[in-house]
Amino acid sequence: MKFPSPVPVQWIATLIDAGIRGNINASVTGINEIHRVEPGDIVFVDHPKYYEKCIHSPATCIIINSETAFPEEKTLLITENPFEAYLAIVRHFRPYAPVTKTISDTAVIGEGTSVAPGSVIGNEVVIGNNCIICANVTILDHCVIGNNVIVQPGTVIGSDAFYYNSKKSRQVWYAKMESCGRVVIEDDVEIGAGCTVDRGVTHDTVIGRGTKIDNMVHIGHDTIIGKNCLLAAQVGIAGGVEIGNGVTLWGQAGISKTLVIEDNVTVLAQSGVGSFLEKGKTYFGTPAGDAAIKKKELVWIKRIPEIWKKVMDGNG
């Protein structure tokens, strides 16, 4: 999430009641989680396992729960509970605002766009020209829709991320990380019926120009999908995934979190992707591998009983 204007780190320190170390004259332009952090951002960390990654990330300011070494140009904000500090910042800059009308007064809808009955358009939503928003679609706060976009009935765009801060020392183990990111859908995208597209936790979930999405597809928070991709029915994509241009994901393919699928990859139906996929190749199976090899493996698996029988007969 970007702030309306740069904010001094000293003001942030006061807001979250934190000690300040390092560059006390810095300003920050937004807050982000580690997978999408950029220069000017605040990031938070509350476990020593991730100190180095956060401190040496592009972040300008790190909210942390312990004194530690850090580059002199950065700012540390030290507080007992960095997660609560994160929530305080999010609630200050993007407080919850209920939708009181089916189309918010703050929504901007372009020329030639139609919004069917039963749809809800949230606060600060921007929808471009010549779009078709079918019945019972929900587009939640701060989402951005380009031109010539079609959204079929029952789809939800901008629902909260499935993202929790986990600590078993608490009575409630899983504390919700409140989502302050957006969904950005570029021009000429089509989204089928009954799909769900989660907003970013702090950054944007992006669907690239010309991408076509079938029914009952889920796209997780902070995922970036390239241009001219095809996603068939019941594809599920976890958070923080980066998908290149021209990628095809066939039905019921499952994509694990924070991985990269390069350009022009094809993933065949019911495959489970758990790691990086190299551009221009076709993948199949769980875990997904080169489709030609995986299909040969299936042939050999089917022959195991026959081969076992021959082995046992030879030993008899």
Residues with a catalytic annotation lie at 221
For residue 225, the one-letter residue type is I
- Contact between 21 and 71 under an 8 Å Cβ cutoff? The reply is no
Residue 159 tokens, joined: 């629902």
Residue 123 tokens, joined: 């606060």
- Nearest alpha carbon to residue 44 among 62, 31, 69: 62
DSSP 25-65: T-EEEEE--GGG--TTEEEE--SGGGHHHHHTSS-SEEEES
- Nearest alpha carbon to residue 212 among 196, 223, 225, 202: 225
Distances (CA, A) of 249 to 44, 185, 190, 212, 274: 34, 18, 15, 11, 14
- Give Cα 233 to chain centroid, integer Å: 19
What are all long-range contacts of 284-289, with beta carbons under 8 Å and residues at least 24 apart?
Answer: 286/254
Which residues, at least 6 apart from 120, have a Cβ–Cβ distance to it below 8 Å?
Answer: 99, 102, 103, 137, 138, 139
Furthest CA-CA distance within the chain: 83
